[in-house]
Chains A and B, each alone.
Chain A
Amino acid sequence: MMATAKKTNTHVDAVIVGSGAAGALVAAKLALKGKKVVILESGRSVLPPDMISSDIHARSLHWGGADAELQLTSPAIRTNFSTGAQTGGTAAHHYAAWFRLHEEDFHMKSSFGQGNDWPISYADLRPYYDRIQEEVGIAGDEKAEVWRPAGTPYTMPGLPMFPAAQMLKRGFDKMGLRTAPLPVAINTQDKKGRPACLYDGWCDAGCPTGALANPQTVYLREAFAHGAALLNNARVTRVLTTPNGKRATGVEYVDAKGVQHVQNADLVVLAALTQTPRIMFNSVTSAHPQGLSNRNGMVGKYILVHPTLNVYGLFAEETDAYQGTSIGLMVSQDDYEKDPKKGYLASYQWLLAPAAKPNGLNGFAGSRPDIYGAALDPWMKRAAKHFTHIQMVGEMIARPENRIELSGDKDEFGLPLSKLTMAFTDNERALYTHASTVGKSIVSAASATEVWASPLVNQHFMGGTIMGKDPTTSVADSYGITHEVPNVMIAGNTLFPTSAGVNPTFTTHAITLRAVEHVLAHWPA
């Protein structure tokens, strides 16, 4: 489908590309201050009634299908599961494990000479973690979570200990490893007009009750309550700039009918995760010959994921693993410290007892792909009652060669698609080997009768338009303001210069709140 006639929309204060965690938060805070805001979301509308409890339905919240726009040059690292294009973006199906980065995560390069440094420290970010926690609500136990960086106490009691968590905790106890309730942006009690979780384990399908803090539940609602508008199926193709390239004037997008629009705005916010680098590359002008704000060639570089490992067990006792939350119930960060003497340089954590359904990427059927035929049904019946697992979320060292570039293929509007070149190295493989050995020992110590591990897999998506102090080695400053165009703000995970070893969404919110308040204080940019 080729774009047809161009229409110019009414000017707004801010146009936000992407309605996920970062875009929704920016929209809410700008709208709250009276700014006229429009959000352009490339994906379809997804409302809570669309969040159907089924693994098969849930897959439609994850990026994929015939129009996947991020091509892979190697099949080893896949990103579809950790991305999504719809109202709420990836966060519409996120599992709400909300961790703070540790102080050591901000100084990877200065401490160890590898990866990058963040341009901020934990002290800079702590107030924003605290405020987001207060606004959204997080359940946890800060006393039991002995590794937790300084912060105000959690706003709700921690998750309950269903049988699977109790059994796995035995293993950690025997190994001398501490555990704590997993901090989650999931209500464990009715709070702020949102109900307590039902613990039915369907978080991956989206949470229609409002117990889990997805954008639909929290910041998009706030944005709409203050007048922000959202357009679905609005695919942004490029950022428009003044002839000298020093300011953005808005964006160009194509709607579902193929009509091309120009949306002028004082502020352009790029919060489109994997699409942010692509949009910047496609915004070539004579003033930005390598793409928007890409004179230093840094756009697209330092893509990051979290290396991941699952260690599974079957127990004599019933685990009731069908219930709980998709992320799990407990956490252990006893081996989080980065120390090259370990044989790898990375932080990692264990998540205990994620809810397990029969099918799908995280289903227990998939944990033993070698079982089939007459042996399958007895095994499935046994696993349904006695299966549980732990998951390692690990750190990947940031490397510029892990990158997004434009592909030679083009989309239906004639614009190049993007492609991802990415690989693990011996460092991530050494982390996997270590964690696999430790994890099997833990699950065995928990008295599992059978223990096995997954291959090295991955989750989450970060980097690609990293923040930094040095304009020659980063794309944006610590507020996401691009180095060359001061009224273009990048928001979200693509700003992460390193992955750390924890799930990213709480940090996404914290850096975004800090950034949007900076932008408001300096308006117009």
Chain B
Amino acid sequence: MDRRHLLQAGGVSFALTAAAPLSLFNPREARALDLPFKALSSDEVKIIEALCDALVPGAREAGVAHYIDHELASPAPRLLLRFAQLRGPMAPYYHNAIAAFAASLTAQGNGAFASLSPDAQHGVIEALRTGTIKPWDTGAVAAPLFYGMMRNDGVDVVYGSAEGFKNLDIPYMPHIMPQATW
């Protein structure tokens, strides 16, 4: 770090509107532009969009799959799973859990999650949330944790941005406004 910069930046003269070195990635725009995925397969994207949107309505349009993909492709993903303190890279935890979810639906004789009726989707989500979904690949994270991952990521894109705050009718009040969606 350049100590001259800290001495300049730490004082009251610091300009709150100073440009920060931000990624300009915006998941909603990324989805609208159909940008290619870096870490997720097309099948995984379909599952994430359907499940996250069922958990957090609006998550699909808000670009939840692009958000997860962007973070998983980064060296230090900021997805909330970070605080579970799991060993090794984060992406395999997502890949394995999504595969476990899809395999469980297949084993139960169901089609894809998106094809299920609302009532059936609710039943699957409740089983996921409570850890009663059967079967569940024990090599994946526990089912309730996968439920939490999908819900948290959906909440991030729907409610964690300035736009999300506006929809909740609360002020964002930033010190430094994010130059991306969040």
Please report which residues of chain B, range 130-180, place their CB below 8 angstroms from some CB of chain A when the two chains form the complex: 147-148, 151-152, 155-156, 159-161, 164-165, 168-178
Interface majority SS (helix, strand, loop, mixed), chain B: loop
A71 contacts which chain B residues (CB < 8 A)? 87
User: In the bound complex, do residue B175 and residue A53 qualify as a contact, i.e. CB atoms below 8 Å apart?
Assistant: yes
Q: Which residue of chain B has its CB nearest to the CB of A53? A: B174
A370 interface residue (CB < 8 Å to B):
yes
A357 contacts which chain B residues (CB < 8 A)? 160
Partner pick for A78 among B54, B83, B156, CB 8 A cutoff: B83
User: In the bound complex, do residue A384 and residue B168 qualify as a contact, i.e. CB atoms below 8 Å apart?
Assistant: yes
User: In the bound complex, do residue A221 and residue B178 qualify as a contact, i.e. CB atoms below 8 Å apart?
Assistant: no
CA distance A323 to B77 in the complex (A): 27
A144 interface residue (CB < 8 Å to B):
no
CA distance A447 to B33 in the complex (A): 49
Min CB–CB distance B119 → chain A (angstroms):
11
User: In the bound complex, do residue A385 and residue B173 qualify as a contact, i.e. CB atoms below 8 Å apart?
Assistant: no
Partner pick for B160 among A60, A232, A358, A384, CB 8 A cutoff: A358
B-contact 0/1 string along A70-92, CB 8 Å cutoff = 11100100111100000100000
Please report which residues of chain B, range 1-59, place their CB below 8 angstroms from some CB of chain A when the two chains form the complex: 1, 3, 5-7, 9-12, 14, 16, 18-22, 54-58
CA distance A54 to B159 in the complex (A): 11
A7 contacts which chain B residues (CB < 8 A)? none
Min CB–CB distance A63 → chain B (angstroms):
9
B168 contacts which chain A residues (CB < 8 A)? 358, 380-381, 384
Pick from A203-211, A288-296, A331-339, A397-405 the stretch touching chain B.
A203-211
- Assign chain A's interface to a size class: 35 or more
Partner pick for A372 among B11, B151, B156, B176, CB 8 A cutoff: B151
CA distance A216 to B2 in the complex (A): 12
Pick from A44-52, A160-168, A467-475 the stretch touching chain B.
A44-52
User: In the bound complex, do residue A372 and residue B3 qualify as a contact, i.e. CB atoms below 8 Å apart?
Assistant: no
User: In the bound complex, do residue A53 and residue B57 qualify as a contact, i.e. CB atoms below 8 Å apart?
Assistant: no
Q: A220-B6, A365-B159, A380-B159 are in contact. Are A373 and B54 (CB under 8 A)?
A: yes
Q: Which residue of chain B has its CB nearest to the CB of A377? A: B57
Q: A80-B85, A193-B11, A365-B155 are in contact. Are A53 and B173 (CB under 8 A)?
A: yes
A372 contacts which chain B residues (CB < 8 A)? 54-56, 125, 129, 151
Min CB–CB distance B168 → chain A (angstroms):
4
Partner pick for A59 among B9, B80, B161, CB 8 A cutoff: B80
Partner pick for B178 among A48, A52, A62, A373, CB 8 A cutoff: A52
B122 interface residue (CB < 8 Å to A):
yes
A81 contacts which chain B residues (CB < 8 A)? 83
User: In the bound complex, do residue A322 and residue B164 qualify as a contact, i.e. CB atoms below 8 Å apart?
Assistant: no
User: In the bound complex, do residue B12 and residue A53 qualify as a contact, i.e. CB atoms below 8 Å apart?
Assistant: no
User: In the bound complex, do residue A60 and residue B76 qualify as a contact, i.e. CB atoms below 8 Å apart?
Assistant: yes
A205 contacts which chain B residues (CB < 8 A)? 175
Residue from A41, A65, A198 having most chain B Cβ neighbours under 10 A: A65
A-contact 0/1 string along B103-127, CB 8 Å cutoff = 0000000000000000000100100
Partner pick for A216 among B6, B54, B76, CB 8 A cutoff: B6
A200 contacts which chain B residues (CB < 8 A)? 173-175
User: In the bound complex, do residue B85 and residue A72 qualify as a contact, i.e. CB atoms below 8 Å apart?
Assistant: yes
A229 contacts which chain B residues (CB < 8 A)? 3
Q: Which residue of chain B has its CB nearest to the CB of A203? A: B175
Q: A66-B75, A210-B12, A373-B55 are in contact. Are A202 and B178 (CB under 8 A)?
A: no
Which residues of A are interface residues toward B (Cβ below 8 A)? Answer: 41, 45, 47-57, 59-60, 62, 64-68, 70-72, 75, 78-81, 87, 190, 193-195, 198, 200-202, 205, 207-210, 216-217, 220-221, 224-225, 228-232, 322-323, 357-361, 363, 365-366, 369-370, 372-374, 376-377, 380-381, 384-385, 409
Q: A67-B76, A322-B173, A372-B56 given; name 7 further pairs at CB < 8 Å.
A: A49-B176, A53-B177, A221-B7, A358-B164, A359-B159, A359-B164, A376-B56
Q: What are 18 A-B residue pairs whose CB atoms fall within 8 Å in the complex?
A: A48-B6, A49-B176, A54-B160, A62-B83, A64-B83, A65-B82, A202-B175, A207-B175, A323-B171, A359-B152, A361-B80, A363-B155, A369-B148, A372-B129, A372-B151, A373-B55, A376-B56, A381-B169
